[in-house]
Amino acid sequence: MIFATVGTQLPFDRLVETLDKLHKNQSINKCFAQIGPQGKRPESIDFSATLTPLQFAKHIADCKVIVSHAGMGTILTAMRYGKPIIIMPRLAKYGEHRNDHQLATVANLRDRAGIHVAQDETSLMEKLLHISSLKASRCASSCAEPKLISAISNFINKDEQELEYV
């Protein structure tokens, strides 16, 4: 199953319409989309405007691939559960977001294992038509790496030592 999620702030009709079109043409099978409160309702795929955390977790667990806007919460969730994710950036020129910060997100994540970037609808269609070739990243830990914890600890302790002498 493909699980698409667009978040709850703004609709992302380009993404949902692409999935709906592919499903209508029988190019993809089972698909479920969380479309947001103001999202355009798809004709052929199952959907919900919003999901409870439990429903969201169930769809993540059951899906083969996640399709999403370039929102970090969903990207981190995909990595945490070892699911391949296709991300497509929202664009301000279409009223999908206030600015184009998601272009920077996809540029920085483009080469990460398990994260597959679709720059536009055509690219999204291409990736979905070859869904079986999409690889997931290894499951990410919900804890920070020891090296990061050590660096932060050293930074905090350094500041505390400097304050003692002031």
Q: Is the pLDDT of residue 148 over 70?
A: yes
Radius of gyration of the chain (CA): 19
Dihedral in degrees, nearest 10, Cα atoms 109, 119, 39, 60? -40
Give the three-state DSSP class for 163: helix
Residue 23 located in a structural domain = yes
d(Cα 123, Cα 72) in Å, to the nearest integer? 20
Residue 78 located in a structural domain = yes
Is residue 8 within 8 Å of residue 50, measured between CB atoms?
A: yes
Q: Is the pLDDT of residue 165 over 60?
A: no
How many structural domains compose the chain?
A: 1
Residue 151 located in a structural domain = no
At residue 10, the pLDDT reads 87
Mean pLDDT calculated for residue range 117-128 = 95
Q: Is the pLDDT of residue 166 over 60?
A: no
Give the three-state DSSP class for 88: strand
- Which residues have C-beta within 8 Å of that of residue 49, sequence separation ≥ 6? 34, 35, 36, 37, 39
At residue 147, the pLDDT reads 80
- Which residues have C-beta within 8 Å of that of residue 140, sequence separation ≥ 6? 76, 79, 80
Q: Is the pLDDT of residue 154 over 90?
A: no
Residue 40 maps to which CATH number?
3.40.50.2000
Q: How do residues 65-79 score in pLDDT, each as one tens digit? A: 999 999 999 999 999
Cα 9 from chain centroid (whole Å): 14
Residue 91 located in a structural domain = yes
Nearest to 102 by CA among 59, 139, 33, 94: 94
Q: Is the pLDDT of residue 44 over 90?
A: yes
0.75 surpassed by pTM: yes
Mean pLDDT calculated for residue range 19-34 = 93
Q: Is the pLDDT of residue 4 over 90?
A: yes
Residue 81 located in a structural domain = yes
Residue 59 located in a structural domain = yes
Residue 35 located in a structural domain = yes
Is the torsion defined by CA of 139, 8, 59, 90 positive or negative? negative
Residue 163 located in a structural domain = no
Range of 47's domain? Answer: 2-140
At residue 118, the pLDDT reads 96
Mean pLDDT of the chain: 89
User: In this structure, what token pair is assigned to residue 12?
Assistant: 């992302």
Q: How do residues 134-144 score in pLDDT, each as one tens digit? A: 988 776 666 66
